[in-house]
Amino acid sequence: MTSANSSTLPPKLVDPFARTIDYLRVSVTDRCDFRCTYCMAEHMTFLPKKDLLTLEELDRMCSAFVRLGVRKLRITGGEPLVRKGIMTFFDGMSRHLGNGLDELTLTTNGSQLDRFAQPLWDAGVRRINVSLDTLDPVKFKDITRWGTLDKVLRGIDAAKAVGMRVKINTVAIKGFNDVELFDLLDWADRSDLDLTFIEVMPMGDMGEVQRLDQYWPLKDLRAQLATRFTLTELDYKTGGPARYFEIGETGQRIGFITPLTHNFCESCNRVRVTCTGELYMCLGQEDMADLRAPLRASESDTPLEDAIHAAIARKPKGHDFDYSRQQVAGQTIRHMSHTGG
């Protein structure tokens, strides 16, 4: 589809604070084959199929964003690789690489990588993020509820074997993987994997799981690292919110995503679209724009592009996440699996 008035639209998406929005994260499903305790309740009620954007609608929507200046597209979920026929979407998106799109990538739990690594590479995916919070098989089973560590490790090996660069995303969880900090670092070094630590974010009702009990500030994690290693901040950027450091003793590059202890909103260049077509201008705010309605209302992309521009025009300056004063402030009611990791 082409927009009838695309030539009159601004070439880039720029928010009210002069930030250029060139990074889109799209959830293609709310379903997952894990039930990680910081992401989902154990007994989830998933969305009916009719509410989800079809793969064709996802293609059309993402293509509109690329026309409007998005340079990086990250596919998320849920677990994106459990969506039936997902490779037709990746294959379709690959046509934009080198033609507006600089990078097509995904975040995955790794459970399906053993069979999808080669097709993803063939579609132009060169770098992926794998969510992995522990190297202990028993603890892995506990936190994912349904996952198997060996299967994920095989998937990581398969991705490396086809040539992908793999970054491990580890959620820092107090009382769970804080004792594994140096083991995780050593494993990533030996395996030639990048490693990024992420603070627990207050999203969704986890039932018996309390966010404040899980929260391990990354400033404390860094202080623990500093007892053994020298950390030097780098200028390296991947387009996301991570700040990167080099470990002097090993030469490793590690990242920190700190939405709570170090607010990164001033440089935010990204928006998220859910699997139902809800555009969230900020992960930590409830304001959203419905893109599914204009998608389904017209064969022209003009209403869709107008809706995208109108949404970016009200992107907030920052989120409201806060764990101060021993309470969870700024908590959003939607699950991370709905918005996209």
pLDDT digits (tens, 9 = 90+) for 37-79: 777 777 777 889 899 999 999 999 999 999 999 999 999 999 9
Query: Would 19 be classed as within a structural domain?
Result: yes
Q: How many domains does the chain have?
A: 1
Q: Would the annotation count 82 as a binding residue?
A: no
Query: Would 91 be classed as within a structural domain?
Result: yes
CATH number reported for the structural domain that contains residue 83 in this entry: 3.20.20.70
Query: Would 153 be classed as within a structural domain?
Result: yes
What SS3 string covers the chain? Answer: CCCCCHHHCCCCEECCCCCEECEEEEECCCCCCCCCCCCCCCCCCCCCHHHCCCHHHHHHHHHHHHHCCCCEEEEECCCHHHCCCHHHHHHHHHHHECCCECEEEEEECCCCHHHHHHHHHHCCCCEEEEECCCCCHHHHHHHHCCCCHHHHHHHHHHHHHHCCEEEEEEEEECCCCHHHHHHHHHHHHHCCCEEEEEECCCECCCCCCCHHHHECCHHHHHHHHCCCCCEEECCCCCCCCCEEEEECCCCCEEEEECCCCCCCHHHCCEEEECCCCEEECCCCCCCEEECHHHHHHCCCCHHHHHHHHHHHCCCCCCCCCECHHHCCECCECCCHHHHCC
Its domain, for residue 268, covers 6-339
Q: Would the annotation count 275 as a binding residue?
A: no
- Total-model pTM: 0.86
Q: Would the annotation count 74 as a binding residue?
A: yes
Q: Would the annotation count 190 as a binding residue?
A: no
Query: Would 38 be classed as within a structural domain?
Result: yes
Q: Could you list the pLDDT tens digit for every one of the 341 residues in the chain?
A: 555 454 554 458 999 999 999 999 999 999 998 887 777 777 777 889 899 999 999 999 999 999 999 999 999 999 999 999 999 999 999 999 999 999 999 999 999 999 999 999 999 999 999 999 999 999 999 889 889 999 999 999 999 999 999 999 999 998 999 999 999 999 999 999 999 999 886 544 444 444 456 688 899 999 999 999 999 999 988 777 889 999 999 999 999 998 654 455 777 899 999 999 999 998 767 789 999 999 999 999 999 999 999 999 999 887 554 444 344 444 445 455 556 55
Q: Would the annotation count 154 as a binding residue?
A: no
Q: Would the annotation count 62 as a binding residue?
A: no
Query: Would 1 be classed as within a structural domain?
Result: no
Query: Would 48 be classed as within a structural domain?
Result: yes
For 111-137, the pLDDT digits (tens) are: 999 999 999 999 999 999 999 999 999
